[in-house]
Chain A
């Protein structure tokens, strides 16, 4: 039985947009994300202090809710740097790493996945071999090794993560492409003389895009966590750059006495990753129901 609703009269894009507006999780997470992005962009305007400026007289000031003053709402760290300012600038590092390395991975994984799924045969076997090789490597160890070889810097972290996190893109897009490949509209396009590049571009890619976006969000969160882990281990972004992972690492010595030093960047990291994942889930909900109908 088919129920033709008003929505069916509109274009798929329009319908998707309507569904997005009705999806609470998506609205909630995207407002958090938007806030974090705005904070990162306007960091110099928002941060009350220079995140690098040390002040020996203002060391380890507690945040306001633990008896501190409004001069340093989130307190200061062991070198007397304002925690709020570092947090605000740290958002830039996390977002930059998340976006750039996930995008690098997306390009690698999408090219491999779509070619494997579309061409099949030898190409598919080769790509599967690459995927297997990649899956056999423990990400954190390889990242640690390469960063220690190449020296830690934001650029190195981004590239290492970008080159490591493409596996999920490749696996999922390969499967999705194989499915789309077997649809009759692909055969119809072939019959109508479309060249393969055109088919991939106009018929395959738009129909696997929803998978691509969902994985993009997952890997973004993944990259952010990994950066924090690398920085925590001292092999990621180098001090004094205000990275959330580095802030955790610097705060761990004070864990027992001044636990806010670790709580505050920890919560920030949690909120960001949580929002990204929730956003990804929302995108999946919004794009998935539009199947064949």
Chain B
């Protein structure tokens, strides 16, 4: 084999004093060869991003490399000056970030920004720069490159923006590409296209690619080699085949086990139970008023949608961003005013209810939101927020506190959390607190609006398990809104697929996955990453090697 493009050996990055551990990255070694995709996998706080930043010499000032070397094309990056780094970046190595909107400057056209790379590293004449830029846009499969060339970032979709960022990265044909969660912010169909592009680039450009991700399915899709990190240390590394199918370290196994299963065998629930929620022709249109002579127009965020939720059933609502699934939920709960339709809960129509009636109805239906950081008030103690519901419905605070203590135990937290503030909890813990808060008023229906999307896979798995357990124990019915088909498949009995404000397909989960009727559903299913990977059943593998890695 030729010399590796990048070879990191024994890299240790210190954390500032007072952190939860002394090193952000500890004694990390890895190699990336030409034409090779190396995936660094880990959960949040594992040090995977720090590794990529260190390679680009973009570490935050508070973090210092205390030992090791990062050899790139035979030279140690850690020993270079600031100016040499600048010359290297963009030219010999390029980075692709998670959030394509913030990586592009909204004030300049796409063409300007790609040409900027040529301007700062080469002395091509203007015409040459433009031809090359157009060729790049063509290469990243942009429709109509001349139009994209003259567009501003806000005129492009998320996927297109990410392609522009990739085009910039490819501009000077760098031997090393570093991509930090490049598809995490994208919809699944877009993700599939971007990942396909990475596979292609590996062949056409022969570049080494370091891909940082938290998603094992993405790894299965593109990786040649895999590095699994936990708390700053490498716990396992090897070829994709080895790590994915024969994981040795217990942590790797735990992560792989937490990957939501596709097409789990469902125990068929009796479907002829009483309906607890019925939605009829619910719709929401926004009126865009006349402005500067442009005529007023109506935007249908939600076209008339009808469905029913039965006692004890979990209904998944799946769709990509902008498909109207959140609008559906919010209009249903009247957190936004629906334009038309009926929502019947407990025999009463939500859309016609007075303020007082609405309060009474909402007791039966509660919601857990997506953002674990935005759904708890940072200035109130957990206890105060948990008793909010019962107190509003006339229960005394002492009584409500008793109940709060009980529920906190049910969501597997200690009782003393009640006196603490939200900032002292991790995302997963906060989400469990939100579940507890929703359950405080003993609802019959629980709506989970992307409730696990912001969580790490292993935490996601725990929360999903908890939700299923609570559902069965308390006889809840659940509406589960998600963009992730794998998660929907794991928890739902029935599923609704939404696209552009419309329900395009519905049915029992097994039927929809096995035999999708609508073209959009087929497209979604085809785009799911990691399809070629038969997730190994961890329980059948040989016992984990204890010697490798962390105690």
Contact = CB atoms under 8 A, between A and B. Distances in A.
A198 B392 contact: yes
A193 B389 contact: yes
Contacts of B441: 192-193
Given A1-B24, A193-B393, A207-B378, A8 B424 contact: yes
A192 B391 CA distance: 9
A185 B393 contact: no
A290 B47 CA distance: 24
B393 A3 contact: no
Contacts of A206: 377, 379-380
Contact of A12 (B45, B47, B421): B421
A188 B367 contact: yes
A2 B378 contact: no
Contacts of A202: 377, 380
Interface string A258-293: 000000000000000000000000000000001011
B421 A194 contact: no
B253 interface: no
B378 A187 contact: no
Given A5-B18, A193-B362, A185 B335 contact: no
Contact of B373 (A6, A187, A292): A292
Nearest to A3: B19
A20 interface: no
B378 A292 contact: yes
B378 A9 contact: no
Nearest to A192: B389
B328 to A, nearest CB: 15
A4 interface: yes
A118 to B, nearest CB: 15
Q: Chain B CB within 10 Å — which of A1, A183, A203 has the most?
A: A1
B380 A2 contact: no
B420 interface: yes
B437 interface: yes
A8 B15 CA distance: 16
B374 A185 contact: yes
A178 to B, nearest CB: 15
A183 B376 CA distance: 9
A1 B45 contact: yes
B18 A188 contact: no
A206 B392 CA distance: 19
Given A12-B421, A185-B377, A190 B44 contact: no
Interface in B424-450: 424, 434, 437-438, 440-441
A166 to B, nearest CB: 24
Interface in A198-228: 198, 202-203, 206-207
B491 to A, nearest CB: 21
A190 B363 CA distance: 11
Given A5-B19, A191-B333, A192-B437, A185 B420 contact: no
Contacts of B20: 3-4
Contact of B367 (A1, A12, A191, A292): A191
Interface in B378-392: 378-381, 385, 388-389, 392
A17 to B, nearest CB: 14
Nearest to B20: A4
B180 to A, nearest CB: 12
A106 B376 CA distance: 27
Interface residues of B, number: 45
B47 A1 contact: yes
B45 A2 contact: yes
A148 to B, nearest CB: 45
Nearest to B384: A202
A189 interface: yes
Contacts of A5: 18-19
B42 to A, nearest CB: 11
Given A188-B437, A194-B388, A3 B15 contact: yes
Interface in B43-64: 44-45, 47, 49-50
Given A12-B421, A12-B423, A198-B392, A188 B49 contact: no
B511 interface: no
B421 to A, nearest CB: 5
Given A193-B362, A290-B378, A187 B367 contact: yes
Contacts of A11: 381, 420-421
A202 B385 CA distance: 10
Interface string B331-373: 0010100000000000000000000000100110111011101
Contacts of A195: 392
Given A3-B20, A184-B369, A188-B437, A12 B378 contact: yes
A193 B375 contact: no
A44 to B, nearest CB: 41
A4 B437 CA distance: 25
A197 to B, nearest CB: 12
Nearest to A2: B45
B16 interface: yes
A184 B448 CA distance: 13
A208 to B, nearest CB: 10
A4 B19 contact: yes
Contact of B44 (A1, A10, A203): A1
Nearest to B19: A3
Contacts of B440: 192
Contacts of B424: 8-10
Interface string B497-525: 00000000000000000000000000000
B394 to A, nearest CB: 10
A183 B374 contact: yes
Nearest to A206: B379
A8 B375 CA distance: 18
Q: Chain B CB within 10 Å — which of A183, A191, A193, A203 has the most?
A: A191
A252 B511 CA distance: 91
Contact of A293 (B45, B388, B423): B423
A185 B388 CA distance: 11
Given A184-B371, A203-B377, A1 B49 contact: yes
A206 B380 CA distance: 9
18 contacts: A1-B44, A1-B47, A1-B49, A1-B50, A2-B44, A2-B45, A3-B19, A5-B18, A184-B375, A185-B385, A187-B335, A188-B369, A188-B375, A188-B434, A191-B367, A194-B388, A203-B377, A207-B377
Given A183-B375, A188-B434, A192-B388, 11 more contacts: A3-B19, A3-B20, A12-B421, A185-B374, A189-B388, A191-B366, A193-B389, A202-B380, A203-B377, A203-B380, A207-B378
Interface of B: 15-16, 18-20, 24, 44-45, 47, 49-50, 333, 335, 359, 362-363, 365-367, 369-371, 373-381, 385, 388-389, 392-393, 420-421, 423-424, 434, 437-438, 440-441
Q: Which 3 residue pairs spanning A and B have beta carbons closest together?
A: A192-B389, A184-B375, A193-B392
